[in-house]
Amino acid sequence: MKPEDLVRPEILALKAYPVPAAEGMVKLDAMENPYTLPEELRRELAAVLARVDVNRYPTPTPQKLIDALARRMNVPRGMRLLLGNGSDELIQIAITALARPGAVAMYPAPTFVMYQMSATFAGMKPVAVPLREDFSFDADAFIARMKAEKPALVFIAYPNNPTGVLYPEEDVAKVIRACPGLVVVDEAYHAFAGKSFMPRLPEFSNLIIIRTVSKLGLAGIRLGYMVGRPEWVEQFDKVRPPYNVSGLTQAAALFMLDKLEVLEAQAARIRADRAGLGTALAALKGVTVFPSEANFILVRVPDADAAFQSLKEQKVLIKNLHPGLRNCLRVTVGTPDENRILLTALREAL
């Protein structure tokens, strides 16, 4: 017996989410915050983690952490939160709950690959609606397609990955109003965008917001949160594996929420450096820069495969999106030093 005889054909056809080796590289491929915690905070965190009883299962619904998140993230009154092992898991949970036979999951594309992958895992029909050439969002075309496909679930990354584009708020609101299903607005990059649907959550009965602490500087702890009306979240909670957020993660998150200003200052720094990096990239011959509201920048170069390879040889790791996005590379905004190294290496690579 071979796996091919038993594994579902749509899984056989997939490739595993690629995570390249990064040891010894300037790592600008995964939208991480490049700054580590200050030494003093690391020590305090170590003391907090030392007190976690790791012989016990974690609290399945850590109310203190949930309340702290609700307070610090300005969650509107009456909304409920659900925690996930990264927002990846929350995407999977929403899909699992809504994957009736034949149900459609729809999203503007190119976008975060896990919408398509998780939909496929669960047996939903993924429907990608192309963005315009410049990666802007054609809301009317999307709405027309929704009328035909009647999606159970729509994903809007706000701002979008891998393009960095933040769609106009009213276009997204129009889609939510017109959608016959549930809309998940994925605000993974909200810390760099300064825009959010959080305050407007009470306005729509079919809106869920998911966020992550990953891009804010805590990618290593794996914590995402979903916010929505209790009647939706109650259903998703049934799909959640019972101990999906580890006790160490819960303790670290609660501790860091109290020190959020440290991470927010880092995010502000990254946002400011994004502008300088964008200008410097645009000044390189043959490089087109797409405007970004996230902590990364999408560029088009004459030959993305060659540029990527040359950067790799120069020990700079970025994301090559070619051929899916023709000759496009995505670079995470790093520290000023890393950004300088990237620019020097890219100049050499072009």
Contact residues for ligand PMP (CB under 6 A)? 31, 86-88, 112, 157, 161, 186, 188, 212, 214, 219, 224
Residues 6 or more apart in contact with residue 202 via CB below 8 angstroms: 76, 78, 79
- Give min distance, CB of 47 to ligand PMP, in A: 26
- Give min distance, CB of 243 to ligand PMP, in A: 17
**Sign of the torsion formed by the C-alpha atoms of 108, 113, 119 and 125:** positive
Nearest to 145 by CA among 116, 104, 117: 104
- Give min distance, CB of 113 to ligand PMP, in A: 9
d(CA 150, CA 115): 17
Answer whether 321's CB lies under 8 Å from 328's CB.
Answer: yes
- Give min distance, CB of 162 to ligand PMP, in A: 8
- Give min distance, CB of 90 to ligand PMP, in A: 8
Rg (CA), the chain: 20
CB nearer to ligand PMP: pick between 295 and 343? 295
Nearest to 331 by CA among 31, 114, 18: 31
- Give min distance, CB of 100 to ligand PMP, in A: 24
Answer whether 219's CB lies under 8 Å from 87's CB.
Answer: no
- Give min distance, CB of 111 to ligand PMP, in A: 7
Report, in this order, helix, strand and coil percent for the chain, each rounded to 5.
Answer: 45, 15, 40
**Sign of the torsion formed by the C-alpha atoms of 155, 158, 163 and 168:** positive
CB nearer to ligand PMP: pick between 90 and 152? 90
CB nearer to ligand PMP: pick between 295 and 349? 295
Nearest to 68 by CA among 258, 247, 230: 258
CB nearer to ligand PMP: pick between 232 and 296? 296
CB nearer to ligand PMP: pick between 117 and 345? 117
CB nearer to ligand PMP: pick between 93 and 98? 93
Residue 288 one-letter amino acid:
T
CB nearer to ligand PMP: pick between 161 and 339? 161
Residue 61 DSSP one-character state: S
Tokens coding 119: 């939909």
- Give min distance, CB of 132 to ligand PMP, in A: 19
Specify which residues 296 forms β-bridges with. Answer: 332
What's the half-sphere exposure (Cβ side, CA atoms, 13 Å) at 349?
A: 27
Calculate the CA 168 to chain-centre distance.
18
CB nearer to ligand PMP: pick between 84 and 247? 84
> Residue with CB nearest ligand PMP?
86
